[in-house]
Structure 1
């Protein structure tokens, strides 16, 4: 199967912009992979915020006022004999115009990672930009038959009859999210390994359900040799450092999501561990500083 890893309109197979970033957490190998970017309305950053305050924040951050390019990151963890894919990117939905994302599969291959080598998949939640890569035609046939997919039981339960009454999404997204989650649960039911609150995938790789963003939203905590890193999924967005009380448009329980965000940021600031999150600018590796009730995103030094 031939896969083109170049950007549309650019010649050749080499991408000019880096799309993968490797680091180590003790003895654990970590690879952050960019699935691309999502073009979404700026109001999604905080639909409960005063529009003038939101516009001022965007201007202060040198960001456009209307449509933002949201990063979309996934992570590959290699520990011992296990190769663990954390989330799977957007894939492709013909009803949504998101042409600059959905690149996880080809970028894994460009990094030399065969889909058949993946032993486990951890899903932070079932929004389509976290599961869509596994719904691309032909992908399931290339995965190993004994693949284990770890997901909070509360997340699978939620998507049987999802509640969208508290979200603030662009038109078309609720239907697309329902469709993707239903299809995923149907196609991968036999490989699901649901957990209640915490699950250790392998020593040093712990999945913890936080709830908030969705009822079963989870984060992944890595720990080895005194080093620690958390993949926070959608618990933290760029604006969430300075304004953790702003509600993201994709949060199904925005009040609880804000509480989860504050607790997690306070913990990460206290123990000084590294943070990676789905929608922080690639490669997103950073630390959290805190001053009173305001947090600060401190980008990690690039490890050449």
Structure 2
């Protein structure tokens, strides 16, 4: 199968295109931002902006709690990563297709009980990119874990959103959080309670704006959300397609370790065996089509391709376009 062409454009030009309020604001760096926090590219006629919500420090066992400790340590060593804990990236995507501006996931927000000061950066980074919250017409949630809905729960955010905002989420996801099952996860203390509380608060705050779908829904021209299950029952991925260009935002279906060890269970997976099957299926699809991949917890900006080598996969990051 021939590989589709992907055509990243210059960041400065793209950020001007993505800006929806003040053009000067899009290129004005914040005084405390020492590293880039957004990366722009073009998928055909569709604008895509990957935005960093910060990083989330977690124990390395979360990468594969069903793996032998020595194997996990060897992988971390090979990747030049610390043995005990490291920073998981948190990535969010903004898509503009036609007259619609779509926020895919909403970041962690601010939970003082968890003491995660380097996460929950989405709102200020959207502002730094010149993106007005009031310009967002749609939100797509890959699932309802706290680090995907929390940004909408930050004080003052709801009041800045459009009254006709549509929030798209799988029916199975909403149903799951009515009585969530945590029997198969392996999370650090405090996280199950925080996840339950965030999902409950989100449902209370945004029930009237939810637009539920069963398996697949076209949110905007060329922007389709599809339920995969696995990570959570309603976990979904978003495919962006225009012309010959393709990109998949895989949410939490793909993690950095999953290329070498797709059968390792992530501690946040509610159905780890199904999550592994979904991961392999998506990685095979991405390797066959050559389309771009972005995922929540891949290192920022998380834009790259997937190559297959038998039953193993390889991550091929794109060269940044300046």
Using structure 2 for the length normalisation, give the TM-score.
0.90
Contact 2:304 2:318 in 1 (8 A): yes
Match status 1:196 vs 2:202: no
Poorly superposed stretches of 4+, deviation over 2 Å: none
Pairing 1:275-294 to 2, within 5 Å after superposition: 275-294=293-312
Match status 1:208 vs 2:226: yes
Give structure 1 stretches of 5+ with no counterpart.
1-11
Pairing 1:107-118 to 2, within 5 Å after superposition: 107-118=125-136
- Equivalent of residue 109 in structure 2, options 69, 91, 94: 91
Query: Deviations 1:221-263 (Å, cap 9, x if unpaired)?
Result: 0000110000000000000000000000000000000000000
Pairing 1:72-83 to 2, within 5 Å after superposition: 72-83=90-101
- Equivalent of residue 139 in structure 1, options 143, 146, 157: 157
Contact 2:168 2:210 in 1 (8 A): yes
In 2, Cα distance between equivalents of 1:282 and 1:112: 20
* Aligned-pair CA distance for 1:13: 2.2
Query: Deviations 1:25-65 (Å, cap 9, x if unpaired)?
Result: 00000000000000000000000000000000000000000
For residue 222 of structure 1, what is the aligned residue in structure 2?
A: 240
Structure with higher RCO (Cα < 8 A, 6+ apart): 2
SS at 2:159 equivalent: helix
SS at 1:124 equivalent: coil
In 2, Cα distance between equivalents of 1:221 and 1:303: 22
Contact 2:98 2:221 in 1 (8 A): no
For residue 16 of structure 1, what is the aligned residue in structure 2?
A: 34
SS at 2:226 equivalent: strand
Query: Deviations 1:185-212 (Å, cap 9, x if unpaired)?
Result: 1110000000000000011000000000
Pairing 1:1-304 to 2, within 5 Å after superposition: 13=31, 15-304=33-322
In 1, Cα distance between equivalents of 2:244 and 2:40: 18
Contact 2:77 2:83 in 1 (8 A): yes
Q: Matched residue pairs, number?
A: 294
Query: Deviations 1:60-79 (Å, cap 9, x if unpaired)?
Result: 00000001100000000001
Supply the RMSD in Å over aligned alpha carbons.
0.9
Contact 2:38 2:301 in 1 (8 A): yes
Using structure 1 for the length normalisation, give the TM-score.
0.96
SS at 2:246 equivalent: strand
Contact 2:57 2:87 in 1 (8 A): yes
In 2, Cα distance between equivalents of 1:134 and 1:282: 21
* Aligned-pair CA distance for 1:101: 0.4
